Structure 1
């Protein structure tokens, strides 16, 4: 007769599972708590990582044998739409630091003061250049002419970051057809036509290239407490557009990808917080890092996607939302 064996399941004591109780938020006069297995820090915008200081003993751009040469954009010509200010200008500066010659396209008659500071830095410190061309992406004829002139001047076009876009917060029942059409014309058609103009030059000169479209986490989820149906639909359209362009242009060695940012604190968002102060507290709680992002946190993503560091990546979305969409 075989000996009897008793199986014993070892269950940790509650004190081992839940080491700490700490308040998460206070609302409607009540404090909610959540169990943590360890002490988790809370973050603010000031905790966003800043770009590292440059080493004056080395070149100010990537591309030496010891500095990840696949990230180098030296001698590359890259367009950035919506780059007169904000996120687009921040992306442009990162591309300059990687060695690219950058053309900023925007509808503003004059770019922001920061643009001129960055242009001077490009010339004096980075051994490259930043240029400005005024264009509304809805003016397709002029858009194609400007992009063609840039291609002809350099005999190549290597990259595009399409960051031009608009936002409007209006309930769906109150949206007009005119407002919706304007949103789609800029955010989808404008992005499409800018990509097309760039692709024509990439194909013309036979060097291939990389196109990066700025989408949004709003193309994947409906934002709680933010009423912007047309904007969210437009960003979903950008993501689908990228997949289709990637499928058509891969044979020309053109890659097309998207970046989907989360909530970014820009000058426009700061003004929004004045109108809706509760969002400053609510939005950080909706992601896994417990804070909002800064434009500088997307610098590396554009360099990665435009450069050869992502040479086998196309038709993909790089979602950078602090885990907002992953709950």
Structure 2
């Protein structure tokens, strides 16, 4: 059996000078006084993005199916929540939610709306992957993959848009897709995952077309291979990929969660105010060969 590869700790951004003062930001990138919900924000890529949004001035509510990580003061989530309060004059709140259950999703958005009185953005990062030859997927596996990655993404975007429409304010929704929504990964049996992410990309285009009249923008962010726990789990079963996959993009390496901080801020802020129905693919050139 291949040796277990431990995930590196989430690399949180802690510049020596702390957050960049708002007066020194390009104003269109500022999230000051804006409220954002991040799904899949209990750890990993979602949590890294949540911290970036807080640094830009936002108030962030994270939803995830994990047991409440804020109860453990040593958890990555608790570290970011403490920093939000003590250093950044904001707050990071956790809500345990199953994004595939519409009543739970609606309830959490109602709570955020009641507490904050507004909703300006939503980052939809909750998702799963597991690998199997297409001939061997069970009906239960098919249902679970599509339920979380597609249904969960739709219900989260829908919940956010309902609040934005009610308040009559423009907003931005970013769905985390994948380069796997554009290409079929060489050497990886991921037909269902790839299908789900292609579905997320088409979902964003369709929602953008429908909600543009309300001033709601909907885009996707498509990462390449990134050192999240999801990727590292694959290396335990297929250790040869750790050396092979970096050679398949133009930068010859994996990406890290922190390298998507700026992209999420761009898509959720006014810096992308004329961008909707689009996909921002950041894959080290993998799909550009």
Query: Do both share a fold (TM > 0.5)?
Result: yes
Residues 79-120 of structure 1 deviation map (CA, whole Å, 9 limit, x = unaligned): 000011111111111111101000000001122710000000
Distance 2:12 2:119 in 1: 30
Partner of 1:156: 118
**Alpha-carbon shift at residue 239 of structure 1 (Å):** 0.2
Partner of 1:32: none
Partner of 2:241: 279
The structure with the largest alpha-carbon Rg is: 1
Residue 297 (1) aligns with residue 259 (2): yes
Q: Would the aligned equivalents of 2:68 and 2:95 in 1 still touch at CA under 8 Å? A: no
**Alpha-carbon shift at residue 269 of structure 1 (Å):** 2.5
Residue 102 (1) aligns with residue 60 (2): yes
Partner of 2:40: 82
**Alpha-carbon shift at residue 62 of structure 1 (Å):** 5.3
Q: Would the aligned equivalents of 2:97 and 2:105 in 1 still touch at CA under 8 Å? A: yes
Q: Would the aligned equivalents of 2:129 and 2:230 in 1 still touch at CA under 8 Å? A: no
Distance 1:74 1:62 in 2: 11
**Alpha-carbon shift at residue 176 of structure 1 (Å):** 1.2
Higher relative contact order (CA 8 A, sep 6+): 2
Once the two structures are superposed, the pairs formed by residues 1-327 of structure 1 within 5 Å of their partners are 53-55=15-17, 60-61=19-20, 63-64=22-23, 66-111=24-69, 113-327=75-289
Match of 2:280, SS state, is strand
**Alpha-carbon shift at residue 254 of structure 1 (Å):** 0.3
Q: Would the aligned equivalents of 1:61 and 1:72 in 2 still touch at CA under 8 Å? A: no
Say which is worse superposed, 110-119 or 123-132, in terms of deviation.
110-119
**Alpha-carbon shift at residue 63 of structure 1 (Å):** 3.1
Match of 1:223, SS state, is coil
Distance 2:135 2:187 in 1: 16
Distance 2:234 2:178 in 1: 18
**Alpha-carbon shift at residue 54 of structure 1 (Å):** 4.6
**Alpha-carbon shift at residue 61 of structure 1 (Å):** 4.4
Distance of aligned partners of 1:303 and 1:54 in 2 relative to their CA distance in 1, 3 Å threshold: farther
Distance 1:108 1:51 in 2: 23
Q: Would the aligned equivalents of 2:40 and 2:46 in 1 still touch at CA under 8 Å? A: yes
Distance of aligned partners of 1:62 and 1:258 in 2 relative to their CA distance in 1, 3 Å threshold: farther
Match of 1:160, SS state, is strand
Distance 1:115 1:135 in 2: 16
Match of 2:175, SS state, is strand
Partner of 2:4: none
**Alpha-carbon shift at residue 51 of structure 1 (Å):** 5.3
- Structure 1: tracts of 5 or more residues without a match: 1-45
Match of 1:79, SS state, is strand
Distance 1:178 1:162 in 2: 23
Distance 2:188 2:151 in 1: 24
Distance 1:195 1:69 in 2: 26
* TM-score normalised by length of structure 1: 0.81
Q: Would the aligned equivalents of 1:62 and 1:71 in 2 still touch at CA under 8 Å? A: no
